Structure formats: C-alpha cells, structure tokens
Amino acid sequence: MGFLEEGWRLLKATIREWHAKQISVLAASLAYYAIFSLAPLIIISVMIVGAFFGEAVAEGEIVGPIRSVIGEDGARFVEALVYNLREETSGSSNSIRWMIGVGFLLFGASGFFVQIQNALNRIWEVELEQGRQVQVFFQKRLLSFLMVLLISILVFLSVSANIVLAYFIDMLTGVSPMLESLWQPLSFLITLTIIILLMTSIYSILPDATVDWKDALVGSAITAVLFMFGQYLFGLFLRQTNFGSAYGFASTFIVLVTWIYYSAHIFLFGANLTQVYAKRLGHAIVPEENATRATNAQSS
C-alpha cells in the first residue's frame, strides 16, 4: 500500500511540474525538430547497420516498427522521404559530394539532439553560463553527433539480437513447434531493453547536469513501458478508426506528426518524472562546469 501511495505522490508531483514548466510547449518544439531529423537518422542507421547486414535488411528492420504503428501508408511515406533524401545526399560517385552529403545528414540529425538537450536543461533546472556560447555550441554539436552514433549502434544491436533470436527460434521450432510462440515476447523484450538503454543514456548524458544513472534508469524504464504501450494503442486506434482520412491527401503526414508529437510528450514526461524522482530521494542536481542552476528553479 505504501508503494502505491508513494507512486501516486510521485505522479502528482510530476504532473504539477509538467504544468509549471510548460513541458507541452517543449514537446511541440521537440516534435517539430524530430520531423526534420527523422529521415537523416534513419539513413545514418541504415548506412551503419547495412554495412553488416545489407541495406535491404537494415531498412526493413528499422522501418518495420514504424509500419506497425502508423500503418502501411505512413511507412511508405517515411520510406519515400528517406529515399529522396538519400538520392540528394549520396547520389553521386564524387567523394567530395558524398562527404558533404554525409555531413549534411549528421548536422540534420544532430540538431534534434541539441533541442533535446535544451529541453532536458529546462526540466533539470539548469542553464548555460553566459559568455561561452561559441564553445558550448561546438560542445553541443559534438555531443549530438555522438548521440546519433549511439542510436545507430543500439539499432545495430537490436537488429543483431533479432536476427540471432529468429535463427534460434527457427532451429528450435523443429524440436518443438510450440517454441515459435516465444518469438513475439522475446522480440518485445529486446526492443524494450534497447529503448531503456537509449533513454538512460540520453537522460544521464545530454543535460548539462550530473544525473545519477540509477535515477535515469528508473525514469527510462517507465518511459519505455509507456512508449511501447502507447505505440500499441496508437496502432490499434488507427486500425479501428478512420483517423486522418478527413485530411485527404495529407492524412499520412497528419498521422506521422501525431505519432511523433505523442512520442515527444512521453519522452519528456519520463525526463520530468526522473527529475522529480531524484529530488524526492534527496539526490542533488549538480550543474556541470559550463552551467549554473536556473534562476527560476524551484526549490526541492
């Protein structure tokens, strides 16, 4: 009973801070940047994963989960975005143009993580020191580039794990056909684990504050469960309704934007919950060397 009561208090405190910090506005801004960074992120992930498994396998594994949420039309829309951008940035044998194209992709994808960092700083109640804008700009970009690579590595691990799992399930099915039913729950656990690892990394690395990884892990686990559950409900909602059909030709884009907007809310809710959870445990939120505590920060 005490656990449920403490959980309810944590939820209420999280919702209070959500409204106080106007996190819905941050989520809308984050979703805006995510729309423009989605295709570059997918292309970079396909390039890295495709180097090991082939681009067809990589793209299928990456776009597949998107298809299960926003439907076939939405997946084709994303694939078209990826194809067109890839043709523009790497459609030449000229090595200089290719490097410029890859640089453009990295810059576009990293911009999303700069906005994530700004949003997390707001939630963690820290702000950058004045007078170091140029240095901080390059630090942010470098960190964002590293986060893009981290996502690609995690996607690679996810694809690898699913391929190995599929191989063993296929092999063991010959021994006992009932083992085939293990595929879905085990694949779900792999995806959930990858999301938790990604969220923990983002929550503990990107903000300009020292964040205990155990606090970040708790918030990430809750965020991952909400994200997976929300994905399922969103996909079910789309299959059972005609949502988006009223928008005609733009319906696919509307569905994609709605999904990204929801995901941004869940992500920032988890970040806010992590911050509130850390406060309730009495864990200090210490700004890093280039940051200070925000002037409008609420007291613990």
Give per-residue pLDDT as tens, 163-184. 777 777 777 666 666 666 777 7
Tell me what pLDDT residue 184 has.
77
Give per-residue pLDDT as tens, 210-263. 888 888 899 899 999 988 888 888 878 777 776 656 666 677 778 888 888 989
Q: Which amino acid is at 52?
A: F
Confidence class of residue 300 from pLDDT cuts 50, 70 and 90?
A: very low
Compute how many other C-beta atoms are within 10 angstroms of the C-beta atom of residue 233. Answer: 12
The pTM of the full predicted model, rounded to 2 decimals, is: 0.82
Contact yes or no for 21/123 (Cβ under 8 A):
yes
Choose the weakest-confidence range: 13-22, 50-59, 236-245, 283-292. Answer: 236-245
Q: Which amino acid is at 280?
A: R
- Torsion sign over Cα 189, 190, 192, 196: positive
Helix axis angle for 251-280 and 23-53, nearest 10°, is: 110
Higher pLDDT: 6 or 22? It is 22
Q: Is the pLDDT of residue 295 over 80?
A: no
Query: Counting every residue, how long is the chain?
Result: 300
**285 to each of 202, 273, 274, how far by Cα in Å?**
16, 14, 11
Q: What is the CA radius of gyration of the chain?
A: 21
